Amino acid sequence: MDAIKLMTQDCIKEQPPVVEIGDTVNVAVKIREGDKERIQNFEGTVIARKGSGVAETFTVRRLSYGVGVERVFPIHSPNVAGVTVVRKGKIRRAKLYYLRGRVGKAAKVKEALK
């Protein structure tokens, strides 16, 4: 049991990204192609957060050429180089799965006033 705790302590990031449901975020992901490594940005709306501790994840959705694309990112993954919040969203739900059935302006989340 102690070995498991040590492994999880090594994996946990010092400053995990602060993402909330409904936020539009830009996630910088490390992509490995052969022996090269580059950073690819994925921008979209956070529609869900799941798990706790090392297994905590968040789901980001965006429309790409009219097709909905969702990616699940582990918060403590070393492949997630950084997360920047583009705009804060005003929401009243824990999961925004209803956005999957919407297209265009109907799929937008209102911006939270500061």
Please name the residue ranges forming H helices in 2-113: 2-11
Q: What's the pLDDT tens digit per position in 46-79? A: 999 999 888 899 999 999 888 899 999 999 888 9
Task: Using a pLDDT cut of 70, give the percent of the chain over it.
Answer: 89
Cα separation, 93 vs 89, in Å, equals 11
pLDDT at res. 108:
87
- Look up the CATH number of domain 2-105: 2.30.30.790
Q: Where are the domains of the chain?
A: 2-105
| Token output for 72 | 């699940």
> What is the average pLDDT score of the chain?
89
Give the alpha-carbon dihedral of 38, 43, 72, 10, to 10 degrees: 50
Q: What is the pTM of this model?
A: 0.84
Cα separation, 110 vs 9, in Å, equals 37
